Amino acid sequence: MVYKIAIVEDEAIVAHSIEQKLLKLGYEVSGVFHKAEDLFVFLEQKSVDLILMDILLQNGISGIEAAEQILHRYHIPVIYLTAFSDDATLQKAARTEPYGYLIKPFNDRELKATVEMALYKAGATKELVYREARWKAVFVHMREGMVVTDNRGQIISVNPAMESLVNLPAAAMENKSLDELFIFSPTGTGERTFYLQVKSENIRIPVHWISSLISDDLGQTLGSVHIFHDIRDQFAYENALIESEERYRRLVEYQTDWIVRLDESGSIRYANHAMADALGWEKEQIINQNFFDIVPSMDRENWRKLFDSLTEPSEVKSVLLDYEKNGRRYVIEWCFRCVHPTNRTKTCKEYQGVGRDITLLRETEEALREEDEFLKRILTTIDEAVVITDEKGRIEFTNPRGREIVGTIEEKKTYLIDILSFTTQFGEEVKDFEKLCHKASSLPAAVWVITNQYNRRYEVMLDISSLRREDKGKTEWLFLMTDLTLFNKLQQEFYRIQRFEAMEVLAGGIAHDFNNILTVIMGNISLLRLQLGENNNTLTGYLQEAEEACERAKKLTSQMLSFSHGGSPMLKQENILKMLEDTVRFMLQGSSITWKINQLTENVTIPVDITQLGQVIQNLVLNAREAMDNSGEIVISLEKIEASHIQQRIPEPLPNITHYLRITIQDTGPGIDPEILPRIFDPYVSTKSRGSGLGLAIVYTIIRRHHGLIEVASEPGKGTTFFIYLPLYQVEEEPSSKETDQLNTFPSGNGKRIWILDDEVGIVKVLEKTLRQQNYEVKSFQKASDFLARIEEIAPQDLVIMDITIPGDISVEKRLEKLFQTSPKTKVILISGYTQKNFHIPEGQAIAYLTKPFSVQQILQKIDEVLTENSSSA
């Protein structure tokens, strides 16, 4: 690149000489001007890279005044051309921030060194301004709130997103700690998820909080960065999205050059104000000071050798001076040459030096390196994909999340539109990069569908911003993409759970009422068998068949309760291998389907309701058999996995679980239609023409009641695989009571008093007949109010049989409380059509529990146990 230089010199011969030197050195001279006003006219039409300005112009405004206008109007670097001016002139010139001085007369090397240093300084300034603008733009456009603190925890920087998040201006947060401004309380949904509350407000904002220390190369902590992801919307659907931000760069200031003249011993004969002020001396004090005194002692010998080597006026040598003065570090880039006396002796009598203070430049370069490393850390940790392209769409930068979406590319050679397909949420595909930038920037935070070169589909929230690079006259585009895939999946899960809850309430109510009816039927059958005895085998056989039908109906209600909140599993520690083998063998009888079970190498038991889990396996194997049309293969595998691999996907996880048992059921069938697959566990969704659509819904509910997870993977033509995850832990099992199947073997009641409270008339009648036949004194009630009123008159002495759920009546807890206040020694049997004990049992009271439907034998056995034991069993 050939740099363009303008010369402003009122002496034509001197101007011509400078022009020839510049041309000889390879520069382009854009113009030679004798007045500054002519230069201004020229600059209105054209621009140059550097101006050589005579400090004292005879015509028009002075060089200093011209340089001041150039600094503010055109921002073009200026080098002064001067003989030795008076101190006042030099002081005034220094305030215009020149990029160098050339002391007449000067040779080609001095000219080239000064020009090159000025051009380098100007270029570095432009580059730093651009880099600061680029990173500041990214920082400002980040969607996540970000706070930067110093090593004392005081806030030093806040981005606009954080201001918007907490509704506080940056000025109100700076120089304060996070604890001074906010209250943090855990949400209980994740390790890094908190409620963020401004102390002066009552509104709590759920956020995902990420913190990272900022350290220098020596490991010293400089501060920390805190990123707050607003998850108010996502929090409603148990999700956390994470948005990204970047911090902007600090501005850099530059000092003017130092000018010094030394005698042969190193004593300072002249120094300008820039040097004197920097060293903390008055102008008069610095004169006659020895220059070598400011050079570190370890470097003085090398500096003396440098000066001794300077014997020719044309020879210029550069050296760096790094030292401390009054606790401040200085890095000065010096250029020295020898000045011979007039008698032209070969002994150097004087040295001239121009020192450029690059302290701030060096510190800025170090800070920029730290900033680059810091920004890289931020870009590595955020969940947003960041992609930067040039104005044509060529990819120049991607962060790790961006590379996951974009895939493997060669940066600065690959075009974004060639490897990604962009489709709006309305189905419009945008193939032109310019149209994409225009459309996306006009629709901030819109949802787009992106398909990458590997045909992977992402649903993202897309933000596009333009970055104008003025120094090179080009535009860059910043793409911020938030992946919504996980958010949408959790949202679907939320809706699915809502639908389940509605179905669960209905199923639970039906099962409860049906259990009441079955209790009446089973009770009357038992009473009839008691009346018949063993004398009528024909009728007894009929009654036995009726009882077996009731048992089947009981299992049906058990399945319905498994689908409702009332159907909690009765957990026992089980080894499920035999159940799997028996179930698969039974379900595949009569087919040509082959099957195998890959067992664990260790003996593992899990807390499970073996009946309910057997129902799950039956449903899945039956579905596979029907899908494969009685031919193919089913493979069931058992595997023990760590909780960390699955815990976050469990809808209702148990605490302190370290391992899960994974049951994989894989078939070789035709697979599931992709349109049905996302809704496969919903009620009334079926892959069969005559299916009810409740099989997999019940499967899903049973697994969720076991605090587990079921997932499915299927591809048309390649079969279907179900994954069941069940937690591994130990449960305490209640000792089971033995029931007798013999009739007329229970002891007589001997007039013991039993009160019955149940709103179902049929159940009350069965119990009355049974108990009176066994010589108990019985009194029954259908309303709790009548029961409680009677208690106040005559306290029952032996036993109360009480239904837990009586519609429209007071709760069972209040009934028990009033009962035990009046008769604390009375024993109680609670009966219910639900299997779940969702109520509080008073401590120290004799309370037993019996699930409907039950037979006469079962209620008599439970009464015998309760009345003969000293302590209750539930």
Q: Is the dihedral of CA 94, 95, 96, 98 positive or negative?
A: positive
**Helix (H) / strand (E) containing 623:** helix 610-628
In a domain, 336, yes or no: yes
> Which two three-digit tokens encode residue 173?
């947060």
> Residue 64: its pLDDT value, please?
87
Band the pLDDT of 204: cuts 50, 70, 90: confident
Is the pLDDT assigned to residue 566 strictly greater than 50? no
Contacts by residues 203-210 (CB-CB < 8 Å, ≥ 24 positions apart) = 205/165, 205/166, 205/230, 205/232, 206/230, 206/231, 206/232, 206/235, 207/145, 207/165, 207/231, 208/240, 208/241, 208/242, 209/184, 210/242, 210/381
Q: What are phi and psi of 832, to 5 degrees?
A: -160, 155
* Whether residue 719 is found in the same domain as residue 754: no
Per residue in 386-441, pLDDT (tens digit) is 888 888 888 888 888 888 888 777 766 788 888 888 888 788 888 888 888 888 87
CB 725 within 8 A of CB 650: yes
In a domain, 251, yes or no: no
In a domain, 117, yes or no: yes
In a domain, 247, yes or no: no
> Which of 235, 267, 283 is a domain's end point?
235
CB 783 within 8 A of CB 807: no
Is the pLDDT assigned to residue 741 strictly greater than 80? no
Is the pLDDT assigned to residue 836 strictly greater than 60? no
Which residue stretches of 340-474 are H helix?
359-381, 400-406, 416-419, 433-442
Cα distances (angstroms) measured from residue 621 to each of 49, 123, 581, 625, 828: 80, 73, 12, 6, 44
CB 412 within 8 A of CB 395: yes
Is the pLDDT assigned to residue 240 strictly greater than 50? no
* Whether residue 357 is found in the same domain as residue 328: yes
**Which carries the bigger pLDDT value, residue 351 or residue 758?**
758
Is the pLDDT assigned to residue 667 strictly greater than 90? yes
Q: What are phi and psi of 827, to 5 degrees?
A: -90, 155
Is the pLDDT assigned to residue 679 strictly greater than 70? yes
Q: Beta strand pairing status for 799-803 and 827-832?
A: parallel
CATH of the domain at 182: 3.30.450.20
> Which of 330, 364, 398 is a domain's end point?
364
Is the pLDDT assigned to residue 95 strictly greater than 60? yes
* Whether residue 478 is found in the same domain as residue 493: no
Cα distances (angstroms) measured from residue 142 to each of 136, 247, 369, 377, 393: 10, 9, 22, 15, 21
In a domain, 50, yes or no: yes
> Residue 496: its pLDDT value, please?
64
Percent of the chain with pLDDT over 70: 81
CATH of the domain at 601: 3.30.565.10
* Whether residue 540 is found in the same domain as residue 626: no
* Whether residue 583 is found in the same domain as residue 718: yes
In a domain, 136, yes or no: no
* Whether residue 454 is found in the same domain as residue 327: no
> Residue 620: its pLDDT value, please?
93
Residue 292 DSSP SS3: helix
* Whether residue 592 is found in the same domain as residue 718: yes
* Whether residue 594 is found in the same domain as residue 716: yes
Q: Tell me the average pLDDT across 213-219.
A: 84
In a domain, 135, yes or no: no
Cα distances (angstroms) measured from residue 674 to each of 500, 679, 713, 715: 22, 10, 10, 8
Per residue in 329-361, pLDDT (tens digit) is 777 776 777 776 545 556 677 777 777 777 777
CATH of the domain at 788: 3.40.50.2300
> Model pTM?
0.34
In a domain, 370, yes or no: no
Say how far residue 612 (Cα) sits from the centre of its chain.
37
> Residue 523: its pLDDT value, please?
73
DSSP symbol at 655: T
Is the pLDDT assigned to residue 201 strictly greater than 80? yes
> Residue 857: its pLDDT value, please?
82
Its domain, for residue 208, covers: 143-235
Is the pLDDT assigned to residue 858 strictly greater than 90? no
Is the pLDDT assigned to residue 872 strictly greater than 50? no
Q: Tell me the average pLDDT across 604-609.
A: 88
**Which carries the bigger pLDDT value, residue 222 or residue 535?**
222
> Residue 534: its pLDDT value, please?
64
- On the CB side of 15, CA atoms within 13 Å amount to 19
* Whether residue 347 is found in the same domain as residue 392: no
* Whether residue 757 is found in the same domain as residue 871: yes
Per residue in 134-192, pLDDT (tens digit) is 767 766 777 888 888 999 999 988 889 889 888 899 888 889 998 888 898 888 777 78
Q: Tell me the average pLDDT across 76-85.
A: 83
Number of structural domains the chain divides into: 6
Is the pLDDT assigned to residue 315 strictly greater than 80? no
DSSP symbol at 394: B
* Whether residue 601 is found in the same domain as residue 540: no
Per residue in 33-59, pLDDT (tens digit) is 999 999 999 999 999 999 999 888 888
**Mean model confidence pLDDT for the chain:** 79
CB 799 within 8 A of CB 827: yes
Distance CA 655, CA 341 (A): 91
CA-based nearest residue to 247, from 279, 273, 224: 224
Q: Tell me the average pLDDT across 807-826.
A: 84
Beta bridge partners of 479: 387, 464
Is the pLDDT assigned to residue 255 strictly greater than 90? no
* Whether residue 695 is found in the same domain as residue 587: yes
> Which of 333, 364, 395 is a domain's end point?
364
Q: Is the dihedral of CA 158, 159, 165, 168 positive or negative?
A: positive
